[in-house]
Chain A
Amino acid sequence: MGELQELARKLLADGAVKVVIGYEEGPRGVRPAFITTPKDADRLVFDERCVHNLTMYLTPTRKHIAALGKPAIIVKGCDTRSLAGLIRQSQVKRENVVVIGARCGGVLKDPSVKAAIAEDTVADRCRGCTIREPRLVDHLVGEPKPAPPGKSLVDQKIDELDAMTPEQRLAFWHEQLSRCIRCHACREVCPNCFCVRCLADKAEPLESSAHLRGNMAWHMVRAMHQAGRCVDCGECERVCPADIPLRLLNRKIARVIEARFGHRPDDDPESTAPIGSFQPEDGQEFIR
């Protein structure tokens, strides 16, 4: 039994937690796992196929997970930014969860096939990874790994879009968003989408129909609500059944927020974010 499995077994056997949220082998590759008994701890796996950001299972919207009792959760360095965000936004109490950090050298862009991390196999969001040693953890497992290789292609694509005329850019987004079928899977997997009642689930003002007008409204509203909060975990883009390049939207807004407010969502629950904090010296030129 490996280090991770042994730790999970002990946490469950000692009664420190009631469930360990991690990863297991499924019929089509690695998938989220909910281990509730010590004997099942050896089902846990952690490798470069573990693309999922599991922290959304800690949000109050997941009543069926909360009902299992106190959780331990396996997080990658990048996931700790989501966790910090949830703590910052009063969705998770740090003391109510045992955090197991897993050292990570990047995850695969196609996790359905086992492969080594290399420039052409690594997920784009891993490029330029800033959290090599997760800090917001109670336990840390695995050996240190080299930083994921390469430079983000999403940033390149954003530069291309920025260089377009507004008409060209609009045409690009019309083409992308016309594919949306309004399943809202992007919302359901997002650790930041913990609203008890989403605007999109109300009859007004956001149209629920999968026409371009409704799709544009939905994705703009969602992107704006992610401003200063999105950690670019890429889950929305991964799960989209229509392959809409949602990271382009989220990352573009993150870049604007960083340029204007000097803020990048980090792994510190105490840091302040532009949305959710107030400073009298705020410039607020955008209102004038």
Chain B
Amino acid sequence: MTRKAFITESDVRALAADLIAAGTRVVAPGRVGTPLGERIEYRVANKVDEILLGQDEPARSLKDFFLPPTDVILAWQEKKDQVELTPVSSTFAPQVIIGAKPCDAAALEIVDKVMDWDYHDELWFGRRAATTIITLACEGGDRSCFCTAVGLEPSGTRGSDVLLTPAAGGYSAEILTDKGEKLVAAHAVRFGADKGADEARAFAEKGRKRVDANLGLKPAEVRKWLAGHFDDAFWKSIALACHGCGACASVCPTCHCFDIVDECEGLGCGVRRRNWDTCQTAKFTMHGSGHNPRADQSSRMRQRVMHKFCIYPERFGEILCTGCGRCARVCPGGMDILEVVSKVNEMACGGAK
């Protein structure tokens, strides 16, 4: 059902302006100034000129807009000897993401599986339903990118409603879903007839080649090796520099674990929140008895790799990694998932090449 159209950069901005003027929340990459310098983040755009339509990767993923670092899930109030609970609404106002990275859009579909597994996560799917995603094709990132090794593409359409690929004078637009169609129909004046499809194909091919050069992977072999090497000495060797800070998980588009806390907001009332949590900290698996089944950092690092490349694939048929490379960019210990998975791949495929 996909169809193609064309949009100029100024029309992308005009589209964003129309949405903002109509009160729709627009999220897009933008610059955030700090005393330490500028960083690029997905952020709510209040003005069109804040939107960056470039190739720079936002420091954090889109996860923040579907599973925020802290999120109220219910409110409670003491009433004599009773506690009254008030659930939060799982209906959200529409939001449109403009300039999503293809890997970040794909991550949402991958995480959908666990969010609809042993329970249906209403807050996650409430935000998913309210969101339309316009993705901007990627020219291939940097040396830490390996989306093609985990079955994705720098110009991939997965998880996107509309994919924009740079072409002369603007973007070739691929309209992929009903949601995308609805958005385009509502702003038809911004879109022109299909052109630039050949350029878009060439752009996609170039990006794929660039990322392909970073890492080749045999996912089935990797999964098999991991399943059979839980106690391998390899794990002890890779986590020595790890601080257990979990910065990797915080920037990861697919890490989705959370903790639940109750916090007072006054006398006899408060809220229940869910907060990001990560298997990279000692506290994550600490038992009330003081026993910790993941007693050292190597077992925690093993968990991260196992969950992404073995456990999740076995359960959901998906690698829980988009190859976005953020964890490697952010790691204070210089650890690199590409390097780790590449070594596993070598061992899985019968030694070093």
Contacts and interface: CB of A to CB of B under 8 A. Distances in A.
Contacts of A176: 34-35
Contact of A188 (B32, B35, B36, B244): B244
Interface in A130-187: 157, 176, 179, 181-185, 187
A201 B281 CA distance: 10
A201 B282 CA distance: 10
Contact of B36 (A30, A32, A243): A243
Nearest to B276: A181
Nearest to B236: A64
Contacts of B39: 243
A27 B283 contact: no
Interface of A: 26-34, 52, 56, 63-65, 67-68, 157, 176, 179, 181-185, 187-189, 201, 203, 207-211, 214, 235, 237-239, 241, 243-245, 248
Interface string B279-309: 0010100000000000111100000000000
Contacts of B143: 27-28
B55 interface: no
Interface stretch (B13-21, B162-170, B219-227, B329-337): B329-337
Interface residues of B, number: 47
A28 B263 contact: no
A207 B261 contact: yes
A268 to B, nearest CB: 27
Given A27-B143, A64-B296, A210-B276, A188 B243 contact: yes
Interface stretch (B74-82, B96-104, B182-190, B246-254): B246-254
Interface of B: 32, 34-37, 39, 59-60, 69-70, 143-144, 236, 239-241, 243-247, 249-251, 259, 261, 263, 273, 275-276, 278, 281, 283, 295-298, 328-330, 332-336, 338-339
Nearest to B237: A34
B332 A185 contact: yes
A185 B336 contact: no
10 closest pairs, A vs B, by CB?
Answer: A31-B334, A185-B245, A239-B332, A188-B245, A188-B243, A210-B69, A209-B70, A32-B241, A26-B334, A34-B240
Contacts, number: 116
A209 B263 contact: yes
A28 B333 contact: no
Contact of A211 (B70, B239, B247, B259): B70
Contacts of A237: 36
A156 to B, nearest CB: 11
Nearest to B60: A241
A207 B261 CA distance: 9
Given A182-B69, A185-B245, A28 B36 contact: no
Given A28-B336, A65-B240, A241-B247, A157 B35 contact: yes
Contact of B336 (A26, A157, A184, A211): A26
Given A56-B243, A243-B39, 7 more contacts: A30-B334, A176-B35, A188-B244, A208-B261, A210-B69, A245-B34, A245-B36
Contact of B333 (A31, A181, A244): A31
A30 B295 CA distance: 28
B338 A27 contact: yes
A248 B332 contact: no
Given A27-B338, A63-B296, A245-B35, A209 B246 contact: no
B336 A235 contact: no
A189 B245 CA distance: 8
A238 B283 CA distance: 24
A285 B180 CA distance: 67
B59 A241 contact: yes
A29 B247 CA distance: 18
A238 B276 CA distance: 22
Contacts of B338: 27
B296 A235 contact: no
Given A238-B332, A241-B60, A243-B39, A210 B245 contact: no
A56 B243 CA distance: 9
A100 B157 CA distance: 53
A151 B327 CA distance: 33
A182 B245 contact: no
A210 B275 CA distance: 7
Contact of A183 (B37, B240, B245, B283): B245
A61 B35 CA distance: 32
Contact of B69 (A32, A181, A184): A181
A32 B236 CA distance: 15
Contacts of A211: 70
Nearest to B35: A245
A241 B250 contact: yes
Contact of A248 (B35, B69, B144, B329): B35
A181 B241 CA distance: 22
A250 to B, nearest CB: 14
